[in-house]
A and B are shown apart, each in its own frame.
Chain A
């Protein structure tokens, strides 16, 4: 296979990659997106719950090809069974659709192709190419052949297991306390309330939660995230074991049958100090742009991808592929998501320290309060009124 020469090379065809490729191509860049897998979107590594509000902002039109269900709210369930119900309005539109992630990813890749981007599947980046001290492409493999892809701008959208950033010397290393390890079944023939996505907190999922995201009237994604730092060595498949134990205790779920098993991991860290270097920008999971509290990453990835694609095309026009030029991307994505990431990381750091009794007390108060909007300070004040001792740990957030 001959070497390839493009303006922008995007590595990884998840949402971050496809949205970046789309916006680079729309702005006139000769864009190629490569994907390691033979099929974009498969296998799914996602709980598939997304908010609705951000789709408009990115020009992504909801499509029944990738929407499996729409919920009206979410519920947080404490270990003792106290239920806090959040409507979509209260949660700031952070709940909404449960999607078919494989179809969603394919739709975004089609958008990129329609905008003019080329796509190569079953193509793996195996090392970086460098020119004049900057990243200038990758050595890639496709069907046993190795070839060079030269590019002025390289986009690392290569997911949780990202290699490009680390090869480029960008520190994306995660502490075990900033990783949640996940397992999930898509269950059919279960008894559920299709109005709500449920989040079960407490010792059922140390440092994380169990989710029940509704796919249809009798079907849901039932999954778990467990904080890696809470998994002891010598325990094989801790995430799956915790999930199996949870399902066994819930007859309405245990009666179901699994039509899919999903594994994965998500970062739940603070915003990284830098996600760029000369010639390269990281986007999405690769840039650790995941909401550290929920583990949701699709919205942030797409938001960052749009900015990365636009900045990449501007870099071409300026003929400047330096890290300093890419500060426009750093500023752009941080303006959109950094504050919330940092706040939610703080909240996560507190929540992972709580025991079951504390979760019960907190959820009991909130369940009774009938919240109008979800506001961290309001929540803390409500709890403080009844259980001041619980809020001690959070006092610094109240000042």
Chain B
């Protein structure tokens, strides 16, 4: 089961660090929330980049 990123919205400061680091441009920062786009290949950079620890990788089902 491949992993995919998920986000704890309560921790997100919608700073856009994850979006700018995403090599696939598979994320979008709306005014105050993050959207993962279908082209995400689950590389996990966003989870490493998130300064607040809001993004984490989990098993997709």
* Chain A contacts to B: CB under 8 angstroms: 36-38, 43, 45, 122, 124, 159-163, 166, 173-174, 176, 179, 181-183, 228, 231-233, 235-241, 261-265, 267
Contacts and interface: CB of A to CB of B under 8 A. Distances in A.
Interface string B17-53: 1011101010011110000000000001101111111
- Residue among B13, B20, B23, B53 with the highest chain A CB neighbour number at 10 A: B20
A235 B31 contact: no
8 contacts: A43-B13, A159-B16, A161-B19, A182-B51, A233-B57, A237-B11, A263-B51, A265-B21
A181 B48 CA distance: 9
Contact of B28 (A37, A163, A182): A163
A264 B31 contact: no
Contacts of B28: 163
A264 B51 contact: yes
Given A37-B31, A231-B49, A174 B21 contact: yes
Contact of B49 (A45, A228, A241): A228
Contact of B25 (A163, A228, A261, A264): A163
Contacts of B23: 173
B16 A265 contact: yes
Given A43-B13, A45-B15, A240 B48 contact: no
Interface residues of B, number: 28
B31 A265 contact: no
Nearest to B13: A263
B50 A179 contact: no
A7 B48 CA distance: 40
A174 B20 contact: yes
Nearest to B25: A166
Interface centre among A122, A124, A237, A262 (most CB of B within 10 A): A237
Interface of B: 11, 13-17, 19-21, 23, 25, 28-31, 44-45, 47-57
B57 to A, nearest CB: 8
Nearest to A159: B16
Nearest to B23: A173
A265 B53 contact: no
Contacts of A240: 51-53
B16 to A, nearest CB: 3
Contacts of A159: 16, 20
Contacts of A239: 51-52
Nearest to B16: A161
A306 B21 CA distance: 27
Contact of B31 (A124, A183, A232): A124
A236 B47 contact: yes
Nearest to A239: B51
B58 to A, nearest CB: 12
Contacts of B30: 36, 124
A161 B13 contact: no
A236 B51 CA distance: 8
B53 A179 contact: no
Contact of B15 (A124, A228, A265, A267): A265
A236 B21 contact: no
Contact of A236 (B13, B31, B50): B50
Given A161-B29, A265-B51, 8 more contacts: A43-B15, A122-B31, A236-B56, A237-B50, A238-B53, A239-B52, A240-B53, A241-B53
A183 B15 CA distance: 10
B20 A181 contact: no
Nearest to A231: B48
Contacts of A262: 13, 15
B50 A162 contact: no
B29 to A, nearest CB: 5
Nearest to B21: A179
B21 A237 contact: no
A264 B16 CA distance: 7
B49 A179 contact: yes
A232 B48 contact: yes
Given A163-B28, A237-B52, A240-B53, A228 B21 contact: yes
A36 B31 contact: yes
Contacts of A264: 15-17, 51
